[in-house]
Structure formats: C-alpha cells, structure tokens
Structure 1
Amino acid sequence: MEYKVKVHWGDTDAAGIVFYPNFYKWMDEATHEFFSAIGHPTDTLFKANVALPLIETHCDFKRPVLYNVELIVQSEIVLLKEKVFKLSHQFYCEGQLVAEGYEVRAWASTADGHAKAVYIPDQVKNKLLLKGSGK
C-alpha cells in the first residue's frame, strides 16, 4: 500500500533536514491508512475495544530528506502471527529509498480497560495477507 506525505517546514530541524521522529509519525499514519484500506479503520476498531499497540519499532535513515518534497511510504505485512504482525515501511523521495523501518504491533482487546493481546480474527488476517502482499 502507498501513503503519500508532503514534508512541511515544521517537519525539519535547524539544518533544514527532516527531524527523525517524523519518520515514526509517518509510519504510524501509514499503518492507520493501511487498516482503513482493508476496511478496518482504527477509529472503528477502538470503538469495538480493539487497539493496535506498538511492541517494537525501528527506522534506518539512508539519505537526508529536505523541506517541500513528497515522500511515498510503501507499507506491507512482512510477518503475521496469531496475535502480532509486522509492517514494513519504505520511504521514497523522487524514486530513491531514503529510509526504511518497521513496526511490530499486537491485536489487543481493551474491553477490561487494559490492552491484552488476543487472536487476530481470521477475516482480518486474510485481508492483511491480501493487502500486505500488494494484491
């Protein structure tokens, strides 16, 4: 799945380069867009007492990204287990890979007020596999 990001002035540091936490913000946004694209928007999940808490995240920075460019974030499912999944995110600017990272998240129930990992429903798993493989 592709998610486009316009780099704004406030996304950069004093040197005019994108401040690194923004890549994590954009990975999070891409994940929310991914779930909307498979028919399970996260706001709807939250209302159904389902959360997608982060377990692990990482990003490698390949080249500096400057103000006023468009980034394309390509996201895909690279690991799908019973209760957790891993989304890979690759950032491209003008066709060049500028960063790549991932998020490991749990499928969690918040019904009792605390997030507890539970089994990902089969219909969601199937959609994750289909969309995550680029089909």
Structure 2
Amino acid sequence: MRAESHAQPFFHRCRVYYEDTDAGGIVYYVNYLKFMERARTERLRSLGFAQSQLVGEDLLFVVHSSEARYHAPARLDDELLVTAEVIGLKRASLRFKQQVRRAKDDLLLCEGQFVVACVRTESLKPRPIPEALRAAFVGAGLPPAGE
C-alpha cells in the first residue's frame, strides 16, 4: 500500500511571452514541454540542488521519455502555474507528473508524465541518484520505494 503524501504541491509560475506563441497568439505545443522542464529544474532547486552544481558532481538528468496531453490553449501574457510532482523514484530515474494551469482561473491546459534518468556527465551512462537527493525527495513527501 502506498503511503499518503501530505506535502504541499510544488509549482513554478511563468508568463507566456510573444516568443512562446504562434502567429495566432496561442502557445506553440512544444513550449509546454519547456515550461515543464523549467518547473522540474526549479523543483530540484527548491530542494537545494542546482543543476549546475550536479554537473560538477558527474551527474546530469536527461529526459528518457515524455507524454503530454493538451486540453486548452494558453495565450500571450497568460500567467501559468506549472507543477512538478515526483511520483516514482528508482535507483537511477525519477518519474514526474506535471500540469500546466492558467493562474487566473486554474484551467488545466496541459498535463504530462516524464521519466528523467540520472546519468554520468561524460559517458551518459546511468548512475545511481545520490542518497542526499533521494532523501530530499522522500523528505518532501514522496513515499520511500516499496511503500
């Protein structure tokens, strides 16, 4: 049985800029992936782990797989709330569940899941997630593996 998490959900605020949109002022679909990437990066930072620091420790996170579902368009100047919730933690990977919502009305615009692999910077071969980072995710509300 999986333990319930009572952690506060993490979200990253961002704004839709002209460069994010197509000729009609609607966010180009691939830019939702960029918004979600930024939220994952900020999630790590909120736990005390800057990606620039991790590179120095022979560690990169790379997207192994992604899945996105689009529900409604974001438009120029919309403020977005982008979540980044870790729902799975393995030896060398994390599974994130993410949503992009419009801030003014909480409308779900896009949602997805991403598997992010932990690899060595030079060889790009899998490596274990450092124990300190693993502990930070568990401390932030992710149940330990096996629960």
Q: Same fold (TM over 0.5)?
A: yes
Task: Give the alignment partner of residue 77 of structure 1, picking from 72, 77, 86.
Answer: 86
> What amino acid sits opposite 2:64 in the alignment?
I
TM-score (norm 2): 0.84
> What amino acid sits opposite 1:33 in the alignment?
E
**Whole-angstrom distance in 1 between the partners of 2:26 and 2:76:** 7
Shift of 1:27: 1.1
Determine if contact 2:36/2:83 at 8 Å carries over to the other structure: no
- Does residue 87 in structure 1 map to residue 57 in structure 2? no
Taking the TM superposition and a 5 Å limit, the aligned residue runs for 1:12-27 are 12-27=21-36
In the alignment, which residue of structure 2 is the partner of 1:38? 47
TM-score (norm 1): 0.91
Shift of 1:131: 2.8
The structure where strand makes up a greater share of residues is 1
In structure 2, the gaps of 5 or more residues are: 1-9, 143-147
Segments of 4+ moved more than 6 angstroms: none
**Whole-angstrom distance in 2 between the partners of 1:81 and 1:38:** 18
In structure 1, the gaps of 5 or more residues are: none
In the alignment, which residue of structure 1 is the partner of 2:13? 4
**Whole-angstrom distance in 2 between the partners of 1:41 and 1:102:** 22
**Whole-angstrom distance in 2 between the partners of 1:43 and 1:121:** 15
- Does residue 104 in structure 1 map to residue 104 in structure 2? no
Percent identity at matched positions?
26
Shift of 1:132: 5.5
Calculate the aligned-residue CA RMSD, in Å: 1.3
| TM-superposition CA deviations, 1:82-105 (whole Å, max 9, x none) | 111111111111211111012211
Q: How many positions carry a matched residue from both structures? A: 131
